[in-house]
Amino acid sequence: TLQIERSIMSKRNIQAGFTFVEVMTAVVIISISSVGLMMGAAHAHGGLRALEIRERATEELLNYTEYWKGRIADGHISFSEMTGNLSGNQIYLYGNANSDVKVPAKLFYDLTNLDSNTDFGTTSFRRIQLETWITWSNFSQLKSSNRIEYERRLETVMMEF
């Protein structure tokens, strides 16, 4: 009977559960995987934001190009407008002038009168080459000297009939 009591007592001293080392190992593994997930989510968010900005820049450039195509088709372009706008018009792809977070961009255009000689012979139509482009910087919080400049360009030739 004494042996039975000792075996019962020794079984009572054994406790089920995890040791401190096991718990800390699990915490370290979960922490490392959480950091990896958060970094992946932040990278994906930045990529989506860059894609959104690039899409908005393309839309603005297409609208600007259509505006100048309409002006050329109208036929009433002044001499000063024919020199182009190489200083650019300021717009915002994200936010506005009063926002803390904003992505400024500049729209440019250049008009060139082409001569009557083409690859297919001579023409009697007046031809104007229209080139439009937009530039913007990345929107990260880097110093201005480290900013990456992005640009999109469109070019077309318009004829006056």
34-92 tens-digit pLDDT: 999 999 998 888 888 888 999 999 999 999 999 999 988 888 888 888 888 888 999 99
Q: What is the pTM of this model?
A: 0.71
What are 6-33's pLDDT values in tens digits?
Answer: 565 555 555 667 788 999 999 999 999 9
Greater confidence, 4 or 127?
127
Whether 2 has a pLDDT exceeding 70, the answer reads: no
Q: Please check whether residue 133 is in contact with residue 149, taking contact to mean a CB–CB distance below 8 angstroms.
A: no
